[in-house]
Amino acid sequence: MKILIGMDDSPHAREALNFVMRKLQLPATTNVVVASVAQELVPAYTEVYTGAPFYSEEMSHGVLERHQEIASEAERQLRDAGFHTEARVVHGDPRSVLVDLARLENVDLLVVGSHGRTGISKLLMGSVAAFLIAHAPCTVMVVKLH
């Protein structure tokens, strides 16, 4: 069996990781891929005539380093729990990246945490979980924070 876990630095993602490690009865041969998706920095405009702020390489590098830390820590925890793991940090939109990675890795299960957004925030930010359920080539498990 092969599992893909989408990780960010939220308590929701940590709950999904803990669920996989502690609640699922998985075979010893299970392989787990941990993916942390670094979204591109999007410039914001404050006025029509003002250009976008410049995002330095240091800022982009800092975002990438943070995602590497997230993926590495999750990978370490999974290894300590006895799983065969690998970590990936990928740039892009989490929705399309996780769907593409699930297809590329031929995973059996994609696990993500639910951020529980509703109303305007869900409308504006979208639901990664809902997108994955609709588009992933495998079963998707959405773990809610208790």
Tell me, what CATH number does 130's domain have?
A: 3.40.50.620
For CA atoms 124, 98, 109, 104, the dihedral sign is positive
What number of H helices and E strands is found in the chain? 5, 5
Is 77 among the domain residues? yes
Q: Are 66 and 41 in contact (CB under 8 A)?
A: no
Q: Among 129, 99, 145, which Cα is nearest to 4's?
A: 99
Lowest mean pLDDT among 20-29, 72-81, 99-108, 124-133: 124-133
Encode burial over 75-93: b for 16+ CB neighbours within 10 A, e otherwise: bebbeeeebebebbbeeee
Is 46 among the domain residues? no
Q: For the chain, give the mean pLDDT.
A: 85
Residue 26 structural domain? 2-31+58-83+94-139
Question: 117-142: per-residue pLDDT in tens?
Answer: 555 544 444 588 989 999 999 999 99
Is 65 among the domain residues? yes
Residue 110 pLDDT grade (very low, low, confident, very high; cuts 50, 70, 90): very high
Q: Is 97 helix (H, G, I), strand (E, B) or coil?
A: helix
Q: Among 32, 26, 30, 11, which Cα is nearest to 76's?
A: 32
Is 36 among the domain residues? no
Is 49 among the domain residues? no
Is 76 among the domain residues? yes
Q: Are 110 and 4 in contact (CB under 8 A)?
A: yes
Q: How many domains does the chain have?
A: 1
For CA atoms 88, 91, 94, 96, the dihedral sign is negative
Over range 65-78, report the average pLDDT: 96
Burial of 146 (0-12, 13-18, 19+ CB in 10 A): exposed
Is 145 among the domain residues? no
Question: 36-67: per-residue pLDDT in tens?
Answer: 999 865 555 555 555 555 555 556 678 889 99
In the predicted structure, residue 106 carries a pLDDT above the cut 60: yes
Is 40 among the domain residues? no
In the predicted structure, residue 92 carries a pLDDT above the cut 50: yes
